[in-house]
Amino acid sequence: MPKVSVGGRIISLNKNNFLAQGGEGAVYAKGKTAFKIYTDKSKMIPAGKIRELATLTDPKIIKPEEVIFSGKINKPIGYTMQYVTQTEPLCRVFTKSFKDRNSITPEMSFDLVKNMHNTIEHIHKKGILIVDLNEMNFLTCKKFKDVYFIDVDSYQTQTHPATALMESVRDRHMNLGTFTTGTDWFSFAVVSFQVFIGIHPYKGKHSSLKGFDARMSANVSVFNKDVNVPKSCLSLKVIPSQWRDWYKAVFEKGLRECPPREGEVVCEVVTIVQAVDGSNNFVIKELFECDADIINYEPNFGNDCVVCKGGIRMNNGAFVDHPHKISIGYYKSTPMAARIEDDHIRIFNIKMRQDATESMSYNIKADELMSTGGRIYAKQNDKILEVEFIGPEHKPIVTAKIIGTVMEKATQLFSGVAIQSVLESYVTSVFPEAGKCLQHTLTELEGYRVINARYDGGVLIIIGVKKGKYDRFVYGSDMSKPRIAKDIQSYDVNFRTLDNGICISIIDTEDVEVFSAKNVHKVKVVQDNVIHGDMKIFNDGNTVMFADGKKMFSMRMK
C-alpha cells in the first residue's frame, strides 16, 4: 500500500482507505481528505491548472487542493481533495424504484437540479467550463439535498483545455473540440432531465433513428410524438412548466442558454393503473388494494408485510405509519422493521403495531442496511453483520454476528448483495441462507460503475454504466459467464426468483423474461400489452405477483 508525502507530511494509505479505481488512477480517503493517485504519472494535473481551479469557492465543488508526492522520490503523483461521506452517485436517483424507496419527491428532484444550476453558474463566472458534464461526475448526499461536483481536474480553465468528454452528453451541433457555456448547458439539460424523468432524453424507441448520433443530430428527443418511452419513467408533468419548455427548446430546437430561474412543481403525481384483464399470455387476478402506492412485499407464512409510501400494511389490513427508509426481516412469525438512526440500528415490531417512536434501540452501529430472505444485514465499517433475535417473540434481544468482511469505503449494499470495488473490477458478497456469505469476483464489470443491483434466489442482476451507456448483467447460481444486454433504456432491476428456481423479470423493453437460475442464457421472452415497466414483480413461494400502483395482483401463464 502507498506511502505518500503531502505538504511535507508522510501519510500511509491502506486497503481500508481505498475508495475506487478508475481509468486514470486510484482514490483513497483518510479522515476528511481524499487522495487521487495517478496510475500514469504523465497524466498528473499541472500545478498551474490547480491554481486556476482554486478560484472555485463553492464547497460542493470537490477540486484539487494539495499536490501529492511519492514517498520515495520527490515527484508529483496526484493531489488531495475534500472527502465527502454519506453520498450516492447521482445516477442512482434516476430510477423510479430508488425514488420510491427513498421517498424522493418531484420537489426534491427539482431542488437537486436547481442546486446544480447554481453551482454551474458559479463555475462559469470564474471563466471555467465543465465540458464533461456527465452523471458519473456528480454525487448527492443521502438526504438528497446537495449535489457534489467531482472529477474537477478534467475541467477547462483559462490556459488548460478539457481532458475528457463522454459521448452521451456531447453536443452534436458543435464542432469537435469546441466548448462554450452553451455546450455545458446542453450537457446539464441531458443529466438533469434524467433526475426528473429517469431516462436519457435521446433514448426511448424510434422506428428509424437509433443511437445518440442520429437522435441528437436530428433533434429527436423524448418530446417527439414518434418516440415511445418506458412506463417505468416518470411523467413529463413532474417537471415545472417553465423548465419543461426549456428542455424541449434545448433538445428539439437547438437552444443553448441557461435554464429559467423560476419554476414550481405544481402537479400531483398520480399513478395511472392500466386495466390488466384481456391478456393474451397471463391469467391475472387482483388480490388486494392498499391506501398508497406499493413499494415492496415481504411474505412470511401469512404474516405478510406490504411496504407502501408512508407505511406498512399487514395482511389483516392494519396499517402502520412509518415514513422512514426501512429493511424488513422476520423473527419466527413476527415481522421486524429496521432503520438507521444516529448511526445505530433501530428496530420495531410491526406485528405489535409499535410506532416508530416506540422502537427498540440497540448498541449496534451501522453504515447501511438491507434485507433478503427475511433476514436483515448491516454494513459496519469493513464488516457485514447479520442481525439475529433471541428471546421472547414480541420484544426480543437483538444481536449481530459477523458473516463477511469487505473494503470499508469501497462497498455498497444493494438488495440482497454487497458490491465492493477492487481495482477496476468488483467483488460481490451474497447471502443465500442464514449464516452464509459467498463472495465472487466479477471480471466482466471491469471499467464499469455499478449503479443498481439485486440478488434473489441464486440470480444476480447488475446495472453498470461505462462511457455513458448502461448495460445489464445477468448472473445465474453458478456465477459464471453472465448474459449481457447492451445499452438498455431504463435502469431499474425488477425481478424475483420463485422457490422452484424460475426467474421472472420485467426488463427495460417492457417484456417479461423467464429463465432458470441454473441457466440464465436460455430465456423465454413474453411480449404482452398488459405488461409495462412500472409494474413491480414479487413472489410468494411459486406464486408470481406484481404491484401496479396501490393494487397487488397474482399472475400465471395461460
The domain in which residue 228 lies consists of 89-253
Residue 529 amino acid letter: N
**DSSP state letters, 129-148:** B-----GGGEEEETTS--EE
Give me the half-sphere count of Cα atoms (radius 13 Å) on the Cβ side of residue 180: 11
**pLDDT value of residue 272:** 44
- Sheet holding 67-70: strands in order across? 9-12, 3-6, 67-70, 76-82, 33-38, 25-30, 18-21
Last residue of a domain, one of 82, 110, 138: 82
Instruction: Establish if 49 belongs to a structural domain.
Output: yes
Burial code (b: 16+ CB inside 10 Å, e: under 16) for 295-317 equals bbbbbbeebbbbbbbebbbbeee
Q: Which three cell numbers stand for residue 502?
A: 424460475
**pLDDT value of residue 258:** 96
Could you give the angle at the alpha carbon of 248 between the alpha carbons of 242 and 254, nearest 5°?
A: 120
Cα 519 versus chain centre, distance: 27
**pLDDT value of residue 68:** 94
Instruction: Establish if 182 belongs to a structural domain.
Output: yes
Residue 18 amino acid letter: F
**pLDDT value of residue 263:** 80
Q: Are residues 59 and 190 in the same domain?
A: no
Instruction: Establish if 487 belongs to a structural domain.
Output: no
Bridge-based pairing of strands 282-289 and 147-149 is unpaired
Instruction: Establish if 123 belongs to a structural domain.
Output: yes
**pLDDT value of residue 256:** 97
Last residue of a domain, one of 213, 231, 253: 253
Instruction: Establish if 469 belongs to a structural domain.
Output: no
Cα separation of 64 and 47, whole Å?
A: 10
Cα separation of 348 and 314, whole Å?
A: 14
**pLDDT value of residue 271:** 45
Q: Are residues 102 and 140 in the same domain?
A: yes
Q: Are residues 199 and 239 in the same domain?
A: yes
Burial code (b: 16+ CB inside 10 Å, e: under 16) for 413-424 equals bbbbbbbbbbeb
Q: Are residues 13 and 125 in the same domain?
A: no
Q: Are residues 25 and 105 in the same domain?
A: no
Instruction: Establish if 474 belongs to a structural domain.
Output: no
Q: Greatest CA span in the chain, whole angstroms?
A: 74
Cα separation of 156 and 143, whole Å?
A: 30
Cα separation of 155 and 163, whole Å?
A: 7
**pLDDT value of residue 359:** 60
Q: What is the pLDDT along the chain (558 residues), one digit of tens a residue?
A: 678 899 888 999 988 899 988 777 889 999 999 999 998 888 899 999 999 999 999 999 999 999 999 866 678 999 999 999 989 999 999 988 899 888 899 999 999 999 999 999 999 999 999 999 999 999 999 899 999 999 999 999 999 999 889 999 999 999 989 999 999 999 999 999 999 999 999 999 999 999 999 999 999 999 999 999 988 889 999 999 999 999 999 999 999 999 998 887 876 544 444 445 557 788 999 999 988 899 999 888 777 889 988 788 877 666 777 766 889 999 988 888 898 988 899 888 887 764 444 566 678 999 999 999 999 999 999 999 999 999 888 778 889 999 999 999 999 999 999 999 987 789 999 999 999 999 999 999 988 999 999 999 999 999 999 988 999 999 999 999 999 999 998 889 999 999 999 999 999 999 999 999 999 999 999 998 888 888 999 999 999 999 999 999 999 888
Q: Are residues 19 and 138 in the same domain?
A: no
Last residue of a domain, one of 82, 114, 147: 82
**pLDDT value of residue 96:** 87
Total domain count, the chain: 2
Which alpha helices (H) appear in 286-389, and where do they start and end? none
Q: Are residues 66 and 163 in the same domain?
A: no
Q: Are residues 36 and 154 in the same domain?
A: no
CATH number at residue 69: 3.30.200
Q: Which three cell numbers stand for residue 9?
A: 507530511
Instruction: Establish if 117 belongs to a structural domain.
Output: yes
Q: Are residues 215 and 98 in the same domain?
A: yes
120: exposed, middle or buried (Cβ count in 10 Å: 0-12, 13-18, 19+): buried
Q: Are residues 133 and 17 in the same domain?
A: no
Which whole-number Å values give the CA distances from 90 to 12, 124, 139, 213, in the listed order?
30, 21, 5, 24
Which whole-number Å values give the CA distances from 289 to 292, 317, 554, in the listed order?
9, 10, 12
CATH number at residue 195: 1.10.510.10
Q: Are residues 63 and 94 in the same domain?
A: no
Instruction: Write phi, then psi, for 23 (nearest 5 degrees).
Output: -65, -30
Q: Are residues 37 and 134 in the same domain?
A: no
